[in-house]
Amino acid sequence: MTIIKQQEIIEIRTASDCCVIVYVDDTGIGLEKANKIIEIVTRALLINRPPWLCEYIPSYTSLLIEFSLYDTDHIAVNAFVKELVINADMEISQCITENVADTGEASGGNVSSPSQKGKSTLSTSRRIHRIPVCYELTSLQSDLSKVANDKNISEERVIKLHCANTYRVFATGFMPGFAYLGELPIELSQPRLSIPRLKVPKGAVAIADRQTAIYPDESPGGWHIIGYSPLKLLFSATDGNTTKNRDLESLLMTGDSVEFYPVTESEYVNWVNS
């Protein structure tokens, strides 16, 4: 077995005159680990929070860092990011060498385990969301039976497979609150619709390729809808005193863990109305 070193898989490139982008090569280590390394670097960046930092966008295997041209230049930023990566060497090597079938860490209870004290910085920020999904909703369009047909399995099996996995938020984007969750079991993997829907209803839980997601709002979309979640993915972050100043926060953030569980139609309706 070859040993993969972080110097060989992490690369810092220019993105624009005020942005650098950090890439992690996933070919040797897989997407999950590459994304975890991105999470480690992102966290290290936020702990240091240099004064020139304007924006950061973590995604599947990359982290875009935007800096203020007033406060610094690309050379200083490059050096800073290199140092971040070197300082996080321990965590990164640990991440590269850890077992692939590390589902125990993601499925909960990881924070309290005393044996993982050394990894606490990695684990404590991990949030786990359990998300209710109504797979039997008849009032809105669904591809559940079509997916079951195409994959030659029962609808119950589709639901079971979809709920059995713990997913990781690889990236957020496309629209506010939209999280790309992976990886979907191969048994459910299917290419996108050849003709995208013009309107995917709000709350739709959909699958495509090896990913799944929830639509935070009505939107066009080319994924297969298999259910609906009553959960609000965007919530207000303001104190409610002002009517002229508002914020929205996203429930799902890159690096979070997500599990789905089935609810009945009446539970769904109650939830939506509550």
Partner 1 sequence: MKIIATGLSARFTDLGRVGHKHKGFTQSGALDTNSHLLANAIVGMPFTNPTIEVLLGGFIAVATHDIQVAITGAQVRVLINDVPQRLNHKLDWQKGATLQIMQPVLGARNYIACDRPFIVSVFLDSCCAVTREKTGGMNFDGKGFQVADVLDYEGAGTLGSAATSASTDNLSPETRLTHGSMNNEFSGHNTATKTLAPTTQLAKEYVVRVVLGYQESLFDHKMKACFFNQQFTVSNEASNMGIRLTGKSIGSVAVTLYSEGIANGAIQITPSGLPIIMLAERQTIGGYPKIGSIIAADLPELGQCQPGSAIRFEQCDLFTARQAWLLRQIRIKTFAQNQYVRDEKQ
Q: Which residues form the interface with partner 1 (CB under 8 A)?
A: 13-19, 21, 26, 31, 54-64, 66, 68-71, 73-74, 170-178, 180, 217, 242-250, 253-254
Contact 132, 228 (CB under 8 A): no
Residue 157 Cβ, how far from partner 1 at the closest point, in Å?
29
**C-beta of 174 vs 271, nearer to partner 1:** 174
Between 67 and 135, whose beta carbon lies closer to partner 1? 67
Nearer to partner 1, 68 or 149 (CB): 68
- CA-to-CA distance for 52 and 80, rounded, in angstroms? 11
Give whichever of 44 and 137 is closer to partner 1, judged by the CB atom.
44
User: Which one, 242 or 274, has the nearer CB to partner 1?
Assistant: 242
Residue 257 to residue 39: CA distance in whole angstroms: 13
Give 52's contacts (C-beta < 8 A, 6+ positions apart): 67, 68, 71, 72, 77
Provide the minimum distance between the beta carbon of 262 and partner 1 in the complex, in angstroms, as a whole number: 27
In the complex, minimum distance from the CB of residue 273 to partner 1, in angstroms, rounded to a whole number: 22
| C-alpha 117 chain-centroid distance | 25
Minimum Å gap between C-beta 114 and partner 1 is 32
What is the maximal distance between C-alpha atoms in the chain? 60
C-alpha–C-alpha distance, residues 65 and 95, integer Å: 22
Q: Based on CB atoms, which residue is closest to partner 1, 3 or 75?
A: 75
Q: How far is the CB of 16 from partner 1 (least distance, A)?
A: 3
Task: Give buried/exposed letters for 227-250 (b at 16+ CB in 10 A, else e).
Answer: bbbbbebbeeeeeeeeeeeeeeeb
Q: Minimal distance in Å, beta carbon 234 to partner 1?
A: 9
Residue 267 DSSP SS3 = helix
